[in-house]
Amino acid sequence: MSMQQMPIADLMRIGEELAATGKRVSVLWQEPESLAFVARGREYRSEFHINPGDEVMYMIKGEMKLHYRTPEGAEEIAILKEGSTIYTPAGIPHSPRFPPDAFLMVIERKRRPGEIDRFLWFCPSCDASLHEEKFVVADYATDPVSQAYKRFFDSEEFRTCKSCGTVMPAP
């Protein structure tokens, strides 16, 4: 019986490396049953992510406003202070918003084959649905959030509200 790897991560050092390099995500591990990564804040984050699995988030440094949508569609905000953690069940549309000098660790179940992540944007004026991105996340190191953002913000059509005509500005 061989000893499996048991990675130890210096979360503050990893956050500092993300800030120094400008990268947004550092994957700590991706195993068949779990995935963990450190994320640096995105000042322009506006979408709501729907994860097919549960997430546990731990605020390493700084403060996060976790925007989420209730089953009735109302937007609420949970404040996660430095050193705090939150459990987000699968299927809840959520949007972790925190500045680029803040760092968050996320632990979740690795995606099962064919599971789909969804990213939703809503009109800042009337709250109507603007756009949805869907894709399979096979490797979190590819930074799927950045990919979804690029497709959304590169398209004025995606950013234009069909209900009221408001155009969400690109960051």
Distance, CA of 166 to CA of 120 (rounded, Å): 16
Concatenated DSSP letters of 142-164: G-HHHHHHHHHHT-HHHHB-TTT
Tally the domains of the chain: 1
pLDDT in tens, 38-79: 999 987 788 999 999 999 999 999 999 999 999 999 999 999
Residue 15 located in a structural domain: yes
pLDDT in tens, 97-127: 999 999 999 999 988 888 999 999 999 999 9
Which CATH number do you get for residue 114?
Answer: 2.60.120.10
Residue 168 located in a structural domain: no
Q: Which residue blocks in the chain are alpha helix, DSSP H?
A: 11-21, 144-153, 156-159
55: nearest Cα among 37, 78, 75: 37
Could you list the residue range(s) of the whole structural domain that residue 51 is in? 11-159
